[in-house]
Amino acid sequence: MSTYIERLGAAAQEAAKELNGLTAEQKNECLFTAAKFLTDGRQEILAANEEDLKRAKEHGMKESMMDRLRLTEERIEDMAEGIRQVAALPDPLGEVTMDIHRPNGLWIRQVRVPIGVIGIIYEARPNVTADAFALCFKTGNAAILRGGSDAIGSNRAITAALRRALVHRGITPEAVNLVEDTSRESAQAMMRLRGGIDLLIPRGGAGLIRSVVENSTVPVIETGSGNCHVYVDKSADLAMATRIIHNAKTQRTSVCNACESLVIHRDIAEEAVPLIVRDLSAAGVEIRGDERVCGLASEAIPATEEDWGTEYLDRIISIKTVCSLEEAVDHINRYNTKHSEAIITEDAEAAAYFLRQVDAACVYVNASTRFTDGFEFGFGAEIGISTQKLHARGPMGLLALTTTKYEIVGNGQIRG
């Protein structure tokens, strides 16, 4: 296994050198060709997807997962449109991020450059294959893509179309590499491929992220684990709070920026808890509350310590009451996953304290946590949402897939 992945890594490193020599125009033209070849190849892709779906059904896959795996003509057109949108984004490469003339005559420029080879481990969502290729290619990086085993046929067909486009444009097809072996071992081998993979991005559940963090010697960006809170301050507009909580919890429950837990100030609990609980219960949400919440709303069942740290990704929410803003912030910083946190308040000082003291990629005042998303931020496509503090934090667009290099030009300078 590790030999197979090592070969892929070596091929991708060679490809990365070639990509580093391409102009923005060459890459954008190739992306447009890739979009075209993807739609042209839709029959082949749909046929492969049909096979994947059949197998998944036999394996008893849930309908919500089947829906993520399923491709249609429209979804293939969406993938192609996504690639064209990436082509239309400004090219970040070559940007001079620092320009220094030193007294000794040295000219130092910090320039934005590709990272090299980016590995991505993801689940059975074939659209990620096209998205990830487009973002990596645009930023001059070769990609090693390891999707879930359930989508292997779809991913093979998509990658074949992308590679035909590369070859058609005279670019090495090894700019995108699909890991055909979708065993646990292939993921492990990617995590250890120092020198072959320069950056590894796991996209998936908490278990995958944990495994990568524990085992990877390759630099990693952690993504997407979201135990997100909404805090209802004592000064909150309760109609607004109810509306935002309803949206953050129920608009889409399976996503990382959905709300999983509420924190409510005791001074308004008597009014707020029944209002919010009634609304959520009517939407089919199970309520797990502390003693105070259970006393105020008969729909609530007692929460355990475990609930505070759980990302349900389901129609369940935990609710805790607190005696102060400070206690709310402490609770959130203790149990959150540093993703997205919101305060509902009419008090500017409380908002400022919350913004400063809550430790998360995205901190909201009077808005739904569901906005943590590259498109909603206006970045265009995103490769994931980073919950770590190094390199990239929050929705990751093209910039997150670049690094910098210092270029220093002299005329014979030596150090005294």
Q: Which residues bind its own copies (CB under 8 A)?
A: 17, 20-21, 100, 102, 106, 108, 110, 115-116, 194, 198-199, 213-214, 217, 219, 221, 237, 240, 243-244, 246-248, 251, 333, 351, 355-357, 359-368, 370-372, 376-378, 388-391, 393-394, 403-415
Q: Compute the distance between CA of residue 282 and CA of residue 245 in angstroms, rounded to an integer.
A: 13
Contacts of residue 314, defined as CB under 8 A and 6 or more positions apart, other chains included, come to 253, 254
CB of 61 to its own copies, least distance (A): 28
Closer CB to its own copies, 194 or 315, in the complex? 194
CB of 240 to its own copies, least distance (A): 4
Q: Which residue has the tokens 């998509």?
A: 158
CB of 412 to its own copies, least distance (A): 4
CB of 160 to its own copies, least distance (A): 30
CB of 116 to its own copies, least distance (A): 7
Are the C-beta atoms of residues 223 and 340 closer than 8 Å to each other? Answer: no
For residue 315, the surrounding DSSP H or E stretch is: none
CA 97 to chain centre: 25
Closer CB to its own copies, 154 or 368, in the complex? 368
Q: Compute the distance between CA of residue 318 and CA of residue 307 in angstroms, rounded to an integer.
A: 6
Q: Compute the distance between CA of residue 28 and CA of residue 393 in angstroms, rounded to an integer.
A: 27
Closer CB to its own copies, 165 or 363, in the complex? 363
DSSP 8-state code for residue 189: H
CA-to-CA separations, 348 to 302, 345, 351, in angstroms, rounded: 33, 8, 5
Are the C-beta atoms of residues 216 and 192 closer than 8 Å to each other? Answer: yes
* 324: three-class secondary structure by DSSP: coil
Q: How many CA atoms lie within 13 A of 320 on its CB side?
A: 24
Closer CB to its own copies, 213 or 282, in the complex? 213
* Closest C-alpha to 32, from 162, 170, 178: 162
Q: Compute the distance between CA of residue 362 and CA of residue 371 in angstroms, rounded to an integer.
A: 9
Closer CB to its own copies, 85 or 333, in the complex? 333
Q: Compute the distance between CA of residue 156 and CA of residue 211 in angstroms, rounded to an integer.
A: 25
- Strands (E) located in 179-285: 199-202, 228-232, 259-265
Closer CB to its own copies, 53 or 401, in the complex? 401
For residue 95, the surrounding DSSP H or E stretch is: none
Closer CB to its own copies, 157 or 187, in the complex? 187
Closer CB to its own copies, 60 or 414, in the complex? 414
CB of 145 to its own copies, least distance (A): 20
Contacts of residue 400, defined as CB under 8 A and 6 or more positions apart, other chains included, come to 221, 383, 386, 391, 392
CB of 285 to its own copies, least distance (A): 16
Closer CB to its own copies, 58 or 306, in the complex? 306
CB of 33 to its own copies, least distance (A): 25
CB of 171 to its own copies, least distance (A): 17
Closer CB to its own copies, 57 or 101, in the complex? 101
CB of 409 to its own copies, least distance (A): 5
Where residue 170 falls (left for φ over 0; alpha for ψ -120 to 50; beta otherwise) is left
DSSP 8-state code for residue 377: T
